[in-house]
Amino acid sequence: MSLAKNPFIILPLDIKNQQIHLPVLEEKKVELFIKREDLIHPFVSGNKFRKLKYNIQEAENQNKKVLLTFGGAFSNHILATAVAGNLSGYKTIGIIRGDELGNDLEKTLVNNSTLREAHKNGMTFEFVSRAIYRNKSDVEFKNQLKEKFGDFYLIPEGGTNDFAIKGCEEILTNDDVNFDYICTAVGTGGTISGLINASDNHQKIIGFPALKGEFLVDEINQFVQKKNWNLQTNYHFGGYAKYNDALIQFINNFKKETDVLLDPVYTGKMLFGILDLVDKNQFAKNTKILAIHTGGIQGIEGFNQKLKRKGQQIIQ
């Protein structure tokens, strides 16, 4: 398929910055806008589209027919790769953490909407133990995968590599130069790296890690030269996919008051952090903040299964 016709690469993008009105923003005279990257596609949303775009182009350049990548059982990246691959005519293989999930695939698919949707889009799964998954970068493991699946284009866990960062540099447009701060959630650090590279020198980029990630600063410094950024490490809520009642309540209130739905793993934590910093007078009057909605909405269904046992839910 020629690039110009690839329905994935030419997904129509009309991303808007939506102003958020909340009492705390009025009181502190801070303007907050959200870049609605979550609306790019229901399953290839936000930064996962940005990260896959040039990787798929590169797979095409290398004449590959198969995309192989890694992720957890609720991974936004796994589902995005499955759907993007399907749209672009690639076979996809997902190496999934948790060998117990492979014991009864039918049951796994009934219980897990992320994997169910990926499966519908033709993804082949290889479920591996946590120990093997931890060593997934080993040459030996890669060779085993080559033996089993033949030739493939490998996309790393979370999708982060040089091609991904090039894609994330396209999140910011010329109009965004008026913002004083650009905020994003951080997982592997690929998205924030693209934002830093694309930022203007007067702008500051703030990352909100979704996990306890002491390694993230070094990781990001591999991809960026500029120094106009920092990480706010107090808003991970205990670690990756960890949460508390306050976070769930915040996400539900935010939806009620702004009509913007946030995911509990990444964007909910970021917005909680931004508004907490506003409340604590960390932004001067008349500051303009742009927060990137990196997507992740598909993960709410799986998260709600966990919450249901405690009588809670995120209202979509």
Residues that bind ligand PLP (CB under 6 A): 46-48, 76-77, 158, 160, 185-191, 263, 266-267, 294-296
Kindly tell me which of 71 and 203 has the beta carbon lying closer to ligand PLP. Answer: 71
Kindly tell me which of 117 and 263 has the beta carbon lying closer to ligand PLP. Answer: 263
Kindly tell me which of 113 and 160 has the beta carbon lying closer to ligand PLP. Answer: 160
The pair of three-digit structure tokens given for residue 161, joined into one six-digit string? 């590599």
Kindly tell me which of 116 and 149 has the beta carbon lying closer to ligand PLP. Answer: 116
**Least gap, CB of 284 to ligand PLP (angstroms):** 27
**Least gap, CB of 165 to ligand PLP (angstroms):** 9
Cα pseudo-dihedral 257, 263, 268, 271, rounded to 10: -70
Contact in structure between 237 and 215 (CB atoms under 8 Å): no
**Least gap, CB of 31 to ligand PLP (angstroms):** 22
**Least gap, CB of 47 to ligand PLP (angstroms):** 5
Contact in structure between 190 and 160 (CB atoms under 8 Å): yes
**Least gap, CB of 24 to ligand PLP (angstroms):** 23
**Least gap, CB of 252 to ligand PLP (angstroms):** 18
Kindly tell me which of 81 and 191 has the beta carbon lying closer to ligand PLP. Answer: 191
Kindly tell me which of 43 and 125 has the beta carbon lying closer to ligand PLP. Answer: 43
Contacts of 296 (CB under 8 A, 6+ apart): 38, 45, 46, 76, 263, 265, 266, 267
**Least gap, CB of 216 to ligand PLP (angstroms):** 8
Kindly tell me which of 28 and 224 has the beta carbon lying closer to ligand PLP. Answer: 224
